[in-house]
Structure 1
Amino acid sequence: MANQLGDHAVVLGGSVAGSLAARMLSDHYRKVTLVDRDTLFGPDGPRHAVPQGHHIHALLARGQQILDELFPGFTDELVSIGVPIGDFGTSLSWYFNGEMIQKAETGLICVAAGRPLLEARLRGRVSALPNVTYRERTDILDLVAAPDRGRIIGVRVQGKDAAEPEVLQADLVVDATGRGTRTPKWLEQLGYPRVPEERVKMELTYTTCDFHGPLEFDPIGDDIALLPVATPAMPRGAIFARLPDRYAISLTGILGDKPPTDMHGFMEYVKSLPVPEIYKAVRDAKPMGEPQTFHFPASIRRRYERMSRFPDGLLVVGDAAAVFNPVYGQGMTVAAIGATVLGKHLGLGVPQPQAYFRDLAKVVDGPWDMAAGADLGFPGVEGKRSLKTKIGNTYIPRLQAAATRDGVLSAAFLRTAGLVDPLTALMKPGVISRVFRGPR
C-alpha cells in the first residue's frame, strides 16, 4: 500500500458518499470500516434510511466520469444489465417555461440508473476491496474524543442484536451520514463552536409513480427522459424517464404545492404540466403501485471551513456537508467530486481538516450557486439573495430562452448543469453574445 497513513479509518454511512470515501481511504489505511444502521446488501428496493430512494435520481456527467475513473468499466457494467445511457444533450428533452431547448451533442454521458441499483453496484465494487468492510444494522451513537478533545479517536456504535455498545478505534473518522448528520451537535457537545450554516427554504414535495411498459404512446422512444423544469413562471416540474424495467414520473411542487399521492390527483397534476405529451403517454398506462411522496424543506450548506476550531481525525463528506435541492440532481455527483478532494488530501499525507474543508468549499461553491440561485428565483423561497444571485436570475432565463433556438447555448448550459464546466463558462463573451444577439 503506497502512502499508508494509519491502521484504521471508519466511515459513518454506507450510501454513495460513504462508499466513495471508503474507496479513497482504502489506498491509505490498512483497514476501512463503513458503519450503517440499514441492511445494505440484499434488498433491491429503496432503503428505509433513504426515503428519497423511491424517486428518480440523476448521475450527472461529472459524476459518471469520476465513477469510471475510480471503478474502470463501471458504466459498461450498468449498460450490460440494461441501464439506458445517452448523450446529456440529445437523450434528454429539457423544457423551460414550456419550451424545449435545442438538442445538441455534448459528449457527456447520462446514466439512467435508479438510486437503489446504482448504490448496489457501487457497494459491490467497494466491498470487493480486500481491506474494506461494511458493518450493517449498526447504530452510530457518538464520537469518541481524546482527553483534550482536540482529536477524534473513534466512534461508539451498537449492533442491532448486540447487548452493549462498543468503541471502534480509528485514526480517521469520516461522516457520510447525509441529511441527518449529527456532527454539528456532537461538536457542540465537545465544546466546539456552532457550525455556520446557509439555508434556502423552498418546501419541495416530490411524488413519484412507476408505470409498466411498453407505452401505447411513447414520446421518449430510445431516449432517456423528458424534463419540464420548474420556473417562477411555471412552478410545477417533472421528470418522465425510461428506466431499465419501467417508466417513472417524478412530480415536483414547491412552497406548499404538493403533488398528490392518490392516482386521480396524481394524473390531474400530470395533466397540468406544460408538456402535454407526458399525460398522453401515461393516461392509459398501468401503474406499478401507489405514488410515493417525499418532502424536502430546505437546502443546507454547513460551512465547516469557517470554523475557528475543529478537531483532528474527523472529516465530513457528501450531504452531511451540503445537501442540495434534489430537483437539480446534484447530490450524488457533488459527493463524487468531494471524494476526489478527499483523495487529493490523502495523497498529501494525514488530512488537515481546515485545509480539506477549504478545498471542499471551493468545489461546492459552483453547484450551490446554481441550485440555491435557481431556487431563489422563486419569490416565496426564503434565503439570502446576493447581487450575484440577482444577476444570475436575470441572465440564466434569457440564456435558456435563447437556447430554444441555439444548440451552442444548449450545450454550454448542459455542460455547466452536468458539473463538467464551471458556472463562469456561461459568462464568456462568446456565450453572452449569443444570448443577447443570437448566433452569427
Structure 2
Amino acid sequence: MSDVDIVVPAYVGGQPQFPVADTVFTNIFITATARAGTPSTPSPASPSGSTSCRSRGRGPARGSGTFINRESAEWSSRHPAPQHRRSHIATPKTFAVLPRVTVVPELMTAALGRRPTMGEFVGNRAVVLGGGMAGLLTARVLSESYEDVVIVDRDTLSGAEGPRRGVPHGRHAHGLLARGQQILEELFPGLERELVGHGVPSGDLAGDIRWYFEGRPFAPARSGLLSVSATRPELEAHLRARVLRIPNVTLWERWSVDRLDFTHHQVTGVWVTSTDGNQKLLSADLVVDATGRGSRTPAWLEEHGYERPEEEKVKVDLQYTTRIFRLDTDPYGTDLSINPLATPTNPRGAFFPKLSDGTSLLSLTGMIGDYPPTDLPGFLEFAKTVGAPEIYDSVKNAEPVDDAATFRFPASTRRRYERLRRFPAGLLVLGDGVCSFNPVYGQGMTVAAMEAHALRQHIRDVGTPQALRFYHDISSIVDVPWDISAGADLGFPGVAGRRSLKTRIGNVYMPRLQAAAHDDPRLTEAFFRVAGLIDPPQTLTKPGVVMRVLRNKKVNTVSTRREGAATPASAYRRDQAAPPSSPGDRAA
C-alpha cells in the first residue's frame, strides 16, 4: 500500500471547481470536512454511518465515503463530472484536501472491470437493498450501468469478518457451486487466488470432497470443477472489499429500509432510517430488493394496488446445528470436507469442512423435524448416525471451540414474479426474495450470482431494466435448481407436496445413479456437473449414462434399502483401499 495526497473537488451549480472531479470524491469530501470541522452541505450520497476511506493511522473511519484508489483518481481525471446533474445529488460549495489517504492498488484494475462512459449509463442512481451476497453481486453489475450505486444494509459491515444478524445462517456450512464460482471469478478476476492466498482451502468439487450416499463414499473424480472452502463470512468479506473499491459504489450501513417511494407507477426511491432515528428519502432510478427470504416487496406491491406473486412452498422442517472443533486427529487426508448426504431412509446429514485457521466446522442437519441437539452429548450421539463414521471418531474427543448454533428452515419458497401481469417500473427483486432453496443443496449463492449475471446481460440488451421481461429471463435460471432441490425433497415420505410423474421417476432413478457412483468416477463427475449447475439435468438420462447405471449391480439394493430402516454406515477412508468389486460391477 502507499499514501498519496488527494485533492477533492467541489461542485457549484453542477460545475466542477477543480479539474479532478467525480461523484465518489464528493462523497469523500463530506467525510474529510466533517472530521476537520470544515462546513459542508450534507449529501444524500454520504450519510453518517456508511463505509469510509481509510486514513493514516486511524483504521476504518466513522463517517461517509468509500474506498478510493489510484485507479479511481485516474478515471476521474479522464472523465470530468457532467455539466448538469440531477437534483437529488448534493453540490458542496467548497473543496478540501484529504491529508493522507491510504491507496489500495493491488488487484484494483481487475476488480473494477470496464467503467462505461457517461453516454453509456442507463441511469443516475441505483439503490440495492441488502449488503449480503446477492446485494454485493448486484451492486458489482450495476456499477457498470449507473453513475452511482448505493448499498443499504441495517448491519455494521465495515470490517465485519464473522457472522452477523442479517445472515442468521452465517455460522453454518455454506457451499458455492461450480457455476457460482465461475461467475464470481468473471466478475472479480483473481478472487480464487486471493482466497487461497488467505489460507482458504480449495480443490476439485468431485475429487477433493468426500461425499457419502447411504453410508458409502462416491468414487472420487477429477471433474475440473473448483470448490473453494470459504465460510460465508469469509467469502462475503472478500467480495465486499472488492465491491467497495469500485469508485461509484457507496455503502450505507446501519440504515434500515422503511418503504418504497412511488410516483404513479414508478418506484422513485426508498425511505430509510438510521440507527439514531434519522430518516431520509434516497432517490433512485432503480431499486433492487436483495434482502432475502424476508423480502417485503410482496407487501409493498399489495399496498400500492398490485398483485402479490404466487408462492410455491415445499415444507422440509429442516434444522442445522453447528459447532467448531479443534481436532487432535486428521480425518481428511487430502480432502477438503466430509459430507454425508441425507436420504429418505436416513434424513440426517452433515457438512464437515476444515477451515482456514486449522479448526473444523461440523454442521449437522435433520429434516422433517428430526433436529440435531444443541447439548454436546446429544450432538455427538447425532453425529454417530449420519453415515460417515470418521466424523464421530474425530470429534468425540476433540475440543469444542464454541457453543452450538442453530438455524431452522421451515420451507423452500418460490415466488412467481414472472406470472404477474403488472409490475412497477424502477423495481426488481433478486436472490432469496425470488426463490429460497433448501440450504443443504448449496444453491442459494450460486443462483444469486446467476441472476446478477443475467441482470448484466439484460441491461446490455434492453438498457433500462424491464421488470417482467427480467423475471421471465431468470425464471429459466431458477427452474433447474428448484426442480433438483424440491424434487429431491419430495422423495422424503414426510415431505408434503404434489409429486408429478417427472418427480416420481426422478426419485426412482437418482438413488440408483448415486449408488452406481460409489464405483464409477464417470458417474460421480456427471452427477456433480449437474448438481453444480454446469450441465442440465437431462445429461444424466443420456443413453451412455443410463447404461452405466444399469450395469452396476449395486443399484438393485437401493429399493430394498429405501423400504427398510437406515442402512448402517460401512464407509472407508479415501486413503484406504475401496471394497473389492468384480469386473462386472464396474461400467466399461
Tell me the TM-score normalised to structure 2 length: 0.73
CA distance in 1, matches of 2:328, 2:274: 49
2:484 to 362, 366, 370: 370
278, 282, 297: which is aligned to 2:395? 282
Matched-pair identity in %: 55
SS at match of 1:121: helix
Aligned to 1:124: 241
Counterpart of 1:430 in structure 2: which amino acid?
A: G
Q: Which has the higher contact order (CA 8 A, sep 6+)?
A: 1
Aligned to 1:431: 545
The 5 A counterparts of 1:6-405 are 6-146=123-263, 148=264, 150-163=265-278, 165-212=279-326, 215-245=327-357, 246-348=359-461, 349-405=463-519
Given candidates 416, 425, 439, the residue that maps to 2:530 is 416
Task: State the shift of 1:78 in Å.
Answer: 0.2
**Residues in 2 aligned to 1:434 and 1:89: alpha-carbon distance in whole angstroms:** 18
Amino acid at match of 1:217: T
**CA shift at 1:382, angstroms?**
2.1
Distance across 2 between alignment mates of 1:294 and 1:183: 24
Alignment partners' CA distance in 1, 2:432 and 2:325? 30
Cα displacement string for residues 400-432 of structure 1 (whole angstroms, at most 9, x for unaligned residues): 011111111000001111111111111212111
Worse-superposed segment, 423-432 or 33-42: 423-432
Deviation at 1:386, TM superposition (A): 1.7
Amino acid at match of 1:138: W
> Hey, what's the Cα distance between the residues in 2 that align with 1:417 and 1:243?
23
SS at match of 2:340: strand
> Could you tell me which amino acid in structure 1 is paired with residue 464 of structure 2?
V
Deviation digits for residues 10-36 of structure 1, max 9, x if unmatched?
000000000000001000000000101
Q: After superposition, give the CA deviation of every residue in 1:18-64 in whole Å (9 maximum; x if it has no partner).
A: 00000010000000001011111123210111110010111111111
In 2, distance between residues paired with 1:262 and 1:351? Answer: 50
CA distance in 2, matches of 1:310, 1:390: 35
Task: Mark the structure with the bigger radius of gyration.
Answer: 2
User: SS where residue 400 of structure 2 aligns?
Assistant: coil
Conserved? CA contact 1:98–1:228, under 8 Å: yes
Deviations 1:146-195 (A, max 9, x none): 1x2x21111111111243x2111111110000011000010011111121
Distance in 1, Cα, partners of 2:407 & 2:168: 7
Native 8 Å contact 1:328 1:371 kept in 2: yes
CA–CA distance in structure 2, aligned partners of residues 100 and 336 of structure 1? 30
Which deviates the most, 298-307 or 417-426?
417-426
| RMSD (CA atoms) | 1.0
Question: Offset of 1:271 from its aligned partner?
Answer: 1.4
Q: CA deviation at 1:123?
A: 0.4
Within 1, Cα distance between the matches of 2:386 and 2:474? 37
| 2:399 aligned counterpart, secondary structure | coil
- List 4+ stretches of structure 1 deviating above 6 A: none
SS at 1:54 equivalent: coil
Question: Residue 150 of structure 2: SS of its match in structure 1?
Answer: strand
Q: Which SS does the other structure have where 1:140 is aligned?
A: strand
Conservation of the 8 A alpha-carbon contact between 1:41 and 1:120: no
**Equivalent residue of 2:370, what SS?**
coil
User: What amino acid is aligned across from residue 536 of structure 2 in structure 1?
Assistant: P
**CA deviation vs aligned residue, 1:320-359 (integer Å, no higher than 9, x gap):** 1111111011111111111111101111211111110001
Normalised TM-score (structure 1): 0.97
* 1:319 partner letter: D
- Give the distance between the partners of 2:419 and 2:502, measured in 1 at CA: 21
SS in 1 for 2:170: helix
What secondary structure sits across from 2:189 in the alignment?
Answer: coil
CA contact (8 A) 1:22 1:126 kept: yes
Query: Please, which moves more after superposition, 80-89 or 274-283?
Result: 274-283
